[in-house]
Amino acid sequence: MEVVIVPDATAGGELIAEAMAALVRRKPDALLGVATGSTPLPIYEALAAKVAAGAVDASRARICQLDEYVGLPAGHPESYRSVVLREVVEPLGLNESSFMGPDGSAEDVQAACVAYDKALAEAGGVDLQLLGIGTDGHIGFNEPCSSLASRTRIKTLTEQTRVDNARFFDGDIEQVPHHVITQGIGTILEARHLVLLATGEGKADAVAATVEGPVASVVPASALQLHPHATVVVDEAAASKLKLADYFRHTYANKPEWQGL
C-alpha cells in the first residue's frame, strides 16, 4: 500500500486528478470508477479544470459508479446517479452513454446487482477506482463485517452512516435510505488501481485502522492491504493517528521514480 500525506484536500485532489489524467493519456477509454460524498469533490474539480484547459482529452473516458441508494425516486438529486452526472459526467463534458451504475430503483434488486458486476467485467474491468472512507471504515457501502470476498449486492446502512449522510438530505436522517447497492469488496479489489482519499480529523481513526491495523472485515477498507496497487492519499488531519506518518513522508519524498502517484 502506498500512503501519501498531502497538506490538505486541495493538494490531494490535484495529485489524484493528475494520476487520472495520466491514465487517460495512456488509455483514452479508461474505465474510471468514481465515489460520491464530499471527499472526492476536489478531485473532480481539478480533473474538470485539466479538461477545460486542454491538458487532457477525456472525451473517450468511461465512468462507473461505486454504489447507489435503493428506493430513491428516479432523478432524485441525491441519488448517486444524479450526483455523478452532476459532479463528474457533465463537468468532464461526457454524455450519459459513457456512464454506468447499478439500478437502485430496479424491481429485482438482486438481479440488478448481478447485472452490474457482469457489466463491469464485460466493460473490461475498472482501471482506477476512487474510494472514500466512512468514519466506520466502510468503502463503497460495505459496512463493518462485510465479507472481504463480497460481490455487488444490497446492504443495510449502519446508523452511523445514515447520521453522517443526513447532511445531504436537509439534515434529516429520516430521509436517508436504509438500503443501498454497493460494489462488494471482492468487486472493488478487481480494479487495477485503487485510490482512496481521506481528509479531515474525523477520518483519522478509520485511516489508522485501515493502514496500520490487521486486515479484518470489521474495518472493510483494510482489504486494500490485499491489493497489489492501492494508494491511500490523506491530508495531515486524516494522517494524525498514523504511527508511521514520518516513514510514509520519507518514503514518498525519496521515491524519485514516482510520477504523481
- With CB under 6 A as the contact rule, which of the stretches 36-44, 70-78, 228-236, 253-261 interacts with ligand F6R? 36-44
For the question of residue 143 being annotated catalytic, the response is: yes
- Catalytically annotated residue among 67, 117, 164, 235: 67
Residue range at the interface with ligand F6R (CB under 6 A); choices 2-10, 85-93, 130-138, 209-217 = 130-138
Say whether 227 is catalytic: no
Tell me the three cell numbers of residue 207. 485511516
> Annotated catalytic, 117?
no
From 68, 87, 136, 235, active-site residue: 136
Min dist CB 90 to ligand F6R, Å, is 18
C-beta closer to ligand F6R: residue 55 or 216:
216
**Given 5, 35, 64, 191, the residue binding ligand F6R (CB under 6 A):** 35
Q: Is 37 in the site for ligand F6R (CB under 6 A)?
A: yes
Residue 132 CB, nearest distance to ligand F6R (Å)?
Answer: 2
Distance separating alpha carbons of residues 169 and 96, to the nearest angstrom: 25
Give the one residue of 137, 140, 177, 184 binding ligand F6R; rule: CB under 6 A.
Answer: 140
Which residues on adjacent β-strands are paired with residue 33? 64, 129
Judge whether 67 counts as a catalytic residue: yes
Scanning 52-60, 136-144, 148-156, 251-259 for contacts with ligand F6R by CB under 6 A, the matching segment is 136-144
**Residue 139 contacts ligand F6R per CB under 6 A:** yes
| Position 134 contacts ligand F6R (CB under 6 A) | yes
First to last CA, the chain: 12
Q: Which residues are catalytic?
A: 67, 136, 138, 143
